[in-house]
Amino acid sequence: MPVIITMAMIRLIRTGTAMNESAALLKLMSWLSPVFPIGGFAYSAGLEQAVHAGDVTGRGSLADWIEAQLVHGAQRNDALILVQAHRCAADKAKLAELSDLCRALCVSHERLSETVGQGTSFVDAVSHWVGPGHFPGRDTPLPVAVGIAAGIEGIAPRLTTGAYLHAFVSNQLQCAIRLSVVGQDGAAQALAGLEAAIAKTAEHAANATLDDLGGAAFIADIASMNHETLERRLFLS
């Protein structure tokens, strides 16, 4: 018997899809919000050291610094790992291996502390949506934890990765404001210019495998290492 699709049914289908996307976006906005209790405001991912060393001095160099991490650095690898965690969100053994790999890719002690510390806090906080039994442990690194939560909740990996990277960029810009590198308008201008890099990295991660892991943001990695001994600092890393 043929199914007759009426305009009313089409509107219902479209409305249902929109509601699903809206619900997914709201969850991501909650999980990756600055007020979500994972302590993101305390970290600069080496940016404070870069400002201290004179590598970042204004909006242009700030945008270049952030883009390098998105396209060639740690955030690119985080995006790839997040997508892999999304794909195997129900496989505890693979998730444990992925968590080990994510921790091994951290180039400094502070980077490791940041990734694991925020992941632990995320697992605790996201339990209001996703039960803790889905995670390989409370010390699950942040990219893996976010990927698992999104996978369990059925949120699209591209959307999740884009939101994750956008949250990182926003946090970097907030750090830059506190470090007096830019004002709020300069930060907004930088954010607008970085949207293409966020989308590019999210798209790449959605189609990549673990064989594509790697990086070339050496100055950012060294800044993260040197920050461990920086005196009179505002941030943990």
Nearest to 205 by CA among 169, 156, 171, 172: 156
Longest dimension (CA), the chain: 75
Backbone φ and ψ for 18, nearest 5 degrees, come out as -60, -40
Query: Strand, coil or helix: what is 38?
Result: coil
Do residues 81 and 147 lie in contact, with contact meaning Cβ atoms separated by under 8 Å? Answer: yes
- DSSP codes joined into one string, 81-109: HHHHHHHTTT-HHHHHHHHHHHHHT--SH
C-alpha triplet 185, 186, 188: angle, nearest 5°: 65
Q: Which of 4-13, 51-60, 197-206, 227-236 has the lowest mean pLDDT?
A: 4-13
pTM above threshold 0.75 = yes
The residue-averaged pLDDT of 40-44 equals 84
CB count within 10 Å of CB 18 equals: 10
Q: What is the pLDDT of residues 175-226, one digit of tens each?
A: 999 999 999 999 999 999 999 999 999 999 999 999 999 999 999 999 999 9
Do residues 194 and 169 lie in contact, with contact meaning Cβ atoms separated by under 8 Å? Answer: yes
| pLDDT band (50, 70, 90) for residue 228 | confident
| pLDDT band (50, 70, 90) for residue 18 | very low
Do residues 27 and 154 lie in contact, with contact meaning Cβ atoms separated by under 8 Å? Answer: no
C-alpha triplet 217, 197, 79: angle, nearest 5°: 65
Nearest to 165 by CA among 125, 217, 218, 205: 205
Q: Which of 52-56, 140-144, 211-215, 225-229 has the lowest mean pLDDT?
A: 225-229
